[in-house]
Amino acid sequence: MPMPGTGGGPLTGVTVVSLEQAIAAPLCTRHLADLGARVIKIESPAGGDATRHYDDVVHGMAAHFVWLNHGKESAALDLTAEADREVFGRLIANADVVVSNLAPGALGRLGFAPDDLVARHPRLIVVDISGYGRGGPYDHKRAYDLLIQAESGSCSITGTPDAPAKPGIPIADVGTALYAYSSVLAALYDRERTGRGAVIPIAMLDVMGELMGFALNTVIHSGREPVPVGLGSPMVAPYGAYPTRDGQTVVLGTTSDREWRRLATDLIGRPDLAADERYARNIDRCARRAELDAVLADWCKRHDLDDIRARADAAGIGNARLNGVRALAEHPQLAARGRWREVGTPAGPVPALVPPALARGWPVVSGRVPALGADTDAIRAEVGCAPAATATPGQPA
């Protein structure tokens, strides 16, 4: 099998060394691998990335780990040991990018503080992911997705007023990963112009602050806390989920006064509502959300899902079916557009989605999911270090 990163993608020739765990850094580097970068994942020999052990649903492997880590090499290194720190240091000397989301200050304690790395290797790009950023009263705190979502207010605008909820997608982790990914691409471009690398600190709280932008503006400028409305949006109305006659749930939404008038007149046959000044502006409709939800709920329960969706499409009204995850796995749109591929794993090939952002003509780089330490000895030899005295976890003795 060819080494990951040799598939001819736009980042072919870029080497990424990642001290990563959980989601934020691994998703960032997996996207870099998707574009052809060589990604060397540094893992502790004592079990590796914790997500390896979350469950065993993918032929004995964890769903999180398989999602986040195909296309990478795994080097099991104990960075508290001088010999393994030497291997890591030599890898960095030949790398383009280092990504880390270790505990606060861990890189510095290991002797690899980001600013020192770039001082020694001026073309190096170092992404240092933390929960709360450096400085300030929270910089020492560990940070997980739920904790950052809670601290940032995200959970307070999700769910309902009496039942705040964490979004099912780990958006603090995913949002951080995507900012890290895009910042690496920008830094690589900047290095082509200037010849200089960069230190890029990314705090998960800062990411969530950005994602909370509309809610922040609401509080800053009105003093009002946004009130969560369950499966809907506190900022626009009508916009929500409504049971249908055939036992399904349709999601309908309007995002402008013009769309509201089309929904009222062309979809549900209520031109009187479209002409009613009480509902003319979005701010007015939000204030009377319950009234409009009741109207739509009554109309939807008298129609089947397919009929509603056909009528909504004809009227130019956004609509969707409330699906479960299985429906996504079997979604006809993904199948029709060839959005699935196979990636290799120690247990055989498994399906994975094609990366969302690929230019026409870029190849789909589909590397394997590595066993823990699968590439350790090869990497040691590559940087001129002796093999480990004992077998590396994940390799035969």
Q: Are residues 25 and 33 in contact, defined by beta-carbon separation less than 8 angstroms?
A: no
- The percent of residues in the chain predicted with pLDDT above 90, rounded, is 89
Q: Cite the beta strand spans of 165-300 per DSSP E.
A: 198-203, 239-243, 249-253
Given the residues 49, 145, 173, 377, select the one marked as catalytic.
173
The pLDDT mean for the chain works out to 93
Q: Structural domain boundaries of the chain?
A: 15-211+332-382, 239-321
Question: What pLDDT score does 309 carry?
Answer: 97
Distance, C-alpha 122 to centroid of its chain? 29
**What CATH class is the domain 239-321?**
alpha beta
Q: What is the dihedral of CA 292, 298, 304, 306, to 10 degrees?
A: -10
| Alpha carbons 99 and 32: distance in angstroms, whole number | 11
Please tell us whether the domain made up of 15-211+332-382 is placed in CATH 3.40.50.10540. Answer: yes
Choice among 1-10, 103-112, 125-134, 265-274 with the minimum mean pLDDT? 1-10
- Annotated active-site residue 173? The verdict is yes
- Write down the pTM of the prediction: 0.91
Q: Are residues 100 and 107 in contact, defined by beta-carbon separation less than 8 angstroms?
A: yes
At 337-346, the pLDDT tens digits run 999 999 999 9
At 189-232, the pLDDT tens digits run 999 999 999 999 999 999 999 999 999 999 999 999 989 999 99
At 341-389, the pLDDT tens digits run 999 999 999 999 999 999 999 998 889 999 999 999 999 999 999 887 6
